[in-house]
């Protein structure tokens, strides 16, 4: 397994490098490139701009600039926000918790609901329930999340004032229940998509497992059906879902961004959009790079977990 993990690590590093190339390319697409913030300052002359460009080393060959940018990235110097001159990484850090809370809560919920929908759909294949779940999942994947959020706000915050329409906590309260109360709607919206995906994968994983010989063995032992289902079928069907969970991270992150924009949830997605509105490019680039790294590490983690969880992959 160590060899396998080693090779996965190498692959991830290679990918990280390509990701950085793409990031650098995108950065230079920005109007005015890294100079944009100064170009926007009123009364800035061409000469001044040129001088700043020279100071920033922008007149040097691209590979050199890339190398500098990358080395700063590696030592954690991700630049400073145009808005308040805070280091980018620190700003991202301060918004990370909210996003992780939202993603974590919704993923947990989606896994629980999605697992059961998928399992039920598989054991009652072609039943009305299975059919409705299939259609429901496809519609769930098709509803624009932000619109669903708006409708949820209209229904459960405006018409029926049950839940707050935005923010993560009430100033002056911020108890656990208060957080939970604020979490309900954004979590619901984000869960719509993840449940749809998760239940589909779970269903096909269960269908795969159910046809296997060892399930017949378990039945031939006379085990009750719920033991066959849980201990033998689901336990095996869940394994590949670890990888699926890893692969879903970009989708969930995108979904979180959407949910955060609709519900003014103070996470990374909200930060990203605010920074876009202010043309705060260092932060925009920072969040973009951070999310890619996050995805990469998430996939790596999923692979490691899978290797640990599956006894067929040896721990030597």
* Residue ranges binding another protein (CB under 8 A): 14-15, 18-19, 21-22, 26, 29-31, 135, 138-139, 141-148, 150-151, 153-154, 158, 212-214, 216-224, 227, 231-232, 235-236, 239, 250-251, 253-254, 257-258, 261, 272-273, 276, 279, 284-285, 287-288, 291-293, 295-296, 310-312
Please state, in angstroms and as integers, the Cα–Cα distance from residue 103 to each residue in 97, 98, 255, 257, following that order: 10, 9, 9, 10
Cβ-based nearer residue to another protein, 54 or 104: 104
Minimum CB separation from another protein for residue 299, in Å?
8
Minimum CB separation from another protein for residue 180, in Å?
24
246 vs 20: CA distance, rounded Å: 21
Minimum CB separation from another protein for residue 67, in Å?
19
Cβ-based nearer residue to another protein, 205 or 218: 218
Cβ-based nearer residue to another protein, 119 or 257: 257
DSSP-derived 3-state class of residue 80: strand
* Long-range residue pairs from 20-28, CB within 8 A, at least 24 positions apart, any chain: 20/70, 20/73, 20/289, 21/66, 23/285, 23/288, 23/289, 23/292, 24/66, 24/69, 24/70, 26/285, 26/288, 27/69, 27/281, 27/285
Length of the chain: 316
Minimum CB separation from another protein for residue 251, in Å?
7
Cβ-based nearer residue to another protein, 46 or 277: 277
Minimum CB separation from another protein for residue 224, in Å?
6
What residue has token string 């405006």?
158
Cβ-based nearer residue to another protein, 101 or 196: 196
271 vs 275: CA distance, rounded Å: 6
């Amino acid at each position: 397994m160590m060899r396998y993990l080693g090779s996965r690590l190498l692959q991830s590093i290679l990918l990280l490098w390509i990701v950085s190339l793409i990031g650098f390319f995108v950065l230079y697409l920005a109007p005015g490139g890294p100079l944009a913030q100064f170009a926007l300052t009123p009364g800035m002359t061409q000469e001044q701009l040129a001088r700043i460009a020279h100071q920033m080393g922008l007149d040097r060959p691209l590979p050199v600039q890339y190398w500098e940018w990358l080395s700063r990235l590696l030592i954690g110097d991700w630049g400073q926000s145009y808005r308040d001159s805070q280091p980018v990484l620190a700003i991202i850090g301060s918004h990370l918790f909210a996003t992780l809370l939202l993603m974590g809560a919704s993923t947990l919920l989606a896994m629980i609901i999605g697992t059961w929908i998928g399992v039920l759909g598989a054991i009652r294949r072609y039943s009305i329930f299975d059919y409705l779940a299939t259609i429901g999942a496809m519609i769930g994947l098709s509803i624009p999340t932000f619109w669903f959020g708006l409708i949820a706000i209209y229904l459960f915050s405006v018409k029926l004032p049950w839940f707050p329409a935005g923010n993560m906590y009430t100033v002056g309260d911020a108890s656990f229940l208060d957080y939970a109360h604020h979490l309900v709607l954004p979590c619901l919206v984000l869960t719509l998509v993840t449940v749809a995906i998760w239940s589909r994968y779970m269903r096909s994983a269960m269908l795969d497992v159910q046809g296997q010989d060892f399930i017949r063995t378990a039945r031939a032992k006379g085990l009750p059906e719920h033991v066959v289902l849980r201990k033998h079928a689901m336990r095996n069907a869940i394994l590949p879902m670890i990888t699926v969970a890893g692969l879903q991270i970009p989708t969930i992150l995108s979904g979180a961004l959407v949910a955060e924009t609709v519900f003014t949830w103070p996470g990374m997605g909200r930060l990203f959009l605010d920074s876009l509105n202010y043309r705060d490019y260092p932060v925009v680039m920072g969040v973009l790079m951070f999310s890619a790294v996050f995805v990469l590490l998430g996939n790596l983690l999923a692979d490691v977990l899978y290797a640990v969880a599956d006894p067929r992959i040896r721990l030597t």
